[in-house]
Structure 1
């Protein structure tokens, strides 16, 4: 249970513009009485080793609060609100770990006498700190399938407490939901995706007001807030039919380009994934080594115009060595290969966040939600059920 420091509230002379009296070093100075008496104030948590992760609470006794200011050492105010009776004030945010606050409370005693009191408190430092890595980047323009994706450094056991601090706002009231999963890296991850693909032009803001939130056992505290904003670009969908070995680019509902491709050789190791895969990054020319994806020494070469689709190593890229199979057979090690010219065009016209909708009877299965940005491979009800709230 939080303890409270009892403060004396000094009476102000009737013609005075202000004034204050500080509590003693033990935080419990005796009340000073003017002609008509004064209100007293209690603050919790209190002291030099206060518990973080709780709201700051200020209460008046024998009067009401007329204003409360709680400020940290950098001058940032902790916002809060008064109760209807004006006898209590509670901060909107929790007290953050390792932070010193100054509390200044103005009061009016039941007989009308004004007063002011001041206190300080310092919360205990966090033994463990949790950090966040996020997608997409702040200020970016993304494709219509791009989710907000947060990956946490340490375990998040109290997912509900964390999710309550994650506020997504959009310029057009887009419906969406958070969903929790284990990232491909094994870390806890929370993604926010719309019910359907974003509408082009949507402006999106995430306010992750995490400072002062406890992730739970072994997870540590968050000691900062995060904020990012991005804009949704054109509606472009890349449709890949591996039965027909064709790739079609649709923009704004119209087909703008179709060309032959070759997908993964049918089989549990070399087949391509089916489902919706989102462009995670445009990586240009990269070295691909089969040993990094568990395929032995099958290949080790540089490929051009590489666009990453999954964490497990699926890319769309130029594959001129497979030219004989484009449009005829699936003969890759799982990637979607095409000619240099077609790959260059696709690379130039693709945005991070564009969806690749892949289908085919020769695929090896549906891509997992955590294998890249696979959120769209769950129906809406299944996705909503992954929220912690």
Structure 2
């Protein structure tokens, strides 16, 4: 082979290499059709046929049933992004599968809403595509509402539970309980328990295994919007949240046999107060066990007919502190002064002098436990009669969870 021919072939090879390099460095021309576009960084598989990606969104249609998450799937490629927006402009968060073939929203579609879905995909051959879809959900035929305690921003005692009372029956208890998230500043162990409220309505409470540690910050996020209560219950159409703080460790020890109330704060006795409890031997007896101070109601009218005791009394009562829904209070009872510290002679409440009641009223807060002992009582406070969950063992309470 002559030297000239070798040089010529070398020049041809160099030209081919240079042309190939130029093809790699020169950007591809952009083009679009039906939302598709080429991309210089497309990772096309060698020899892959560039078929279009098929995107499926569920639910789909108009006035579809609520209560299901939004699902987006891609066939023939991968999802690169998914955006779901409701009619008010709020985005529905979600997660994509590791293989990029599907995406599921974290929350369920809520009743009476409109949703717009945008899904970006990349085909096996590397072509990008954008797909849009929309659907609406049927409005709620019946709505379930919630009354909750404690209120947000409050400071409560160490026995205060989180309590949710529902307007309508809750049959899908496990589904509802899954939407209730409690977070604490110190990892407090606790459990939800389903009970019947004194009003007859369904109720779920969250209590710690033991009394709260003072200073604990507590937050409830009840992400119920879009959850079905079940038969006769209706839909939840909003979320609920509350944040509160645990105050000092105050325990009120009530000894009905000794006719004495003792306020203990952080393990130290603050004061002992002579009291008179419910009259023995009948319906006027007091309850025993742990009752939790529900509210400080001040001066209120107390009428015996409202608690099934006929016309025994009808009077204005000062420094009233509610302990049960059935009508047991701690309060000022100057008409019973001769019985304080000596005998039980009330209609079921824990009475004390005006001066002692005024002082005591200023010391306690909702959530403080009243640990009541005595031989002749009506029995132990029921979990639904106020906040009586503390009268169940921890094992008994946990078994009331729908997720046990």
Same fold, TM-score > 0.5, yes or no: yes
Matched, 1:12 2:26: no
1:376 corresponds to? 390
State the alpha-carbon separation in 1 of the partners of residues 244 and 327 from structure 2.
26
Q: Structure 2, unaligned stretches of length 5 or more?
A: 1-32, 42-48
1:328 corresponds to? 342
1:212 corresponds to? 226
Kindly report which structure 2 residues correspond to 1:46-65, keeping only aligned pairs within 5 A, or say none.
Answer: 46-65=60-79
Kindly report which structure 2 residues correspond to 1:66-215, keeping only aligned pairs within 5 A, or say none.
Answer: 66-215=80-229
Matched, 1:243 2:257: yes
Tell me the TM-score normalised to structure 2 length. 0.88
State the alpha-carbon separation in 2 of the partners of residues 182 and 363 from structure 1.
22
**C-alpha deviations, 1:349-377, integer Å up to 9, x for none?**
11010010000112121111111111101
2:4 corresponds to? none
Q: Structure 1, unaligned stretches of length 5 or more?
A: 1-7, 17-34
Which one of the candidate residues 348, 351, 358 is aligned to 2:362?
348
| Per-residue deviation, 1:9 | 6.7
Q: Is contact 2:320–2:332 with CA below 8 Å preserved after alignment? A: yes
State the alpha-carbon separation in 1 of the partners of residues 364 and 309 from structure 2.
29
Matched, 1:319 2:333: yes
| Per-residue deviation, 1:266 | 0.6
Q: Is contact 1:266–1:364 with CA below 8 Å preserved after alignment? A: no
| Per-residue deviation, 1:10 | 2.9
Which one of the candidate residues 265, 277, 288 is aligned to 1:274?
288
1:360 corresponds to? 374
1:296 corresponds to? 310
Q: Is contact 1:52–1:94 with CA below 8 Å preserved after alignment? A: yes
Runs of 4+ in structure 1 off by over 4 angstroms are: none
Structure whose residues are more often helix by fraction: 2
Tell me the TM-score normalised to structure 1 length. 0.92
State the alpha-carbon separation in 2 of the partners of residues 200 and 14 from structure 1.
59
State the alpha-carbon separation in 2 of the partners of residues 170 and 149 from structure 1.
16
| Per-residue deviation, 1:268 | 3.1
State the alpha-carbon separation in 1 of the partners of residues 124 and 39 from structure 2.
15
State the alpha-carbon separation in 1 of the partners of residues 148 and 34 from structure 2.
47
Q: CA RMSD in A?
A: 1.3
Q: Which has the larger radius of gyration?
A: 2
Q: Secondary structure at the match of 1:345?
A: helix
State the alpha-carbon separation in 2 of the partners of residues 247 and 185 from structure 1.
29
Q: Secondary structure at the match of 2:336?
A: helix
Q: Secondary structure at the match of 2:140?
A: coil
| Per-residue deviation, 1:329 | 0.4
State the alpha-carbon separation in 2 of the partners of residues 181 and 118 from structure 1.
46
Q: Is contact 2:50–2:124 with CA below 8 Å preserved after alignment? A: no
Q: Secondary structure at the match of 2:378?
A: coil
1:31 corresponds to? none
Q: Is contact 2:219–2:242 with CA below 8 Å preserved after alignment? A: yes
Q: Secondary structure at the match of 1:311?
A: coil
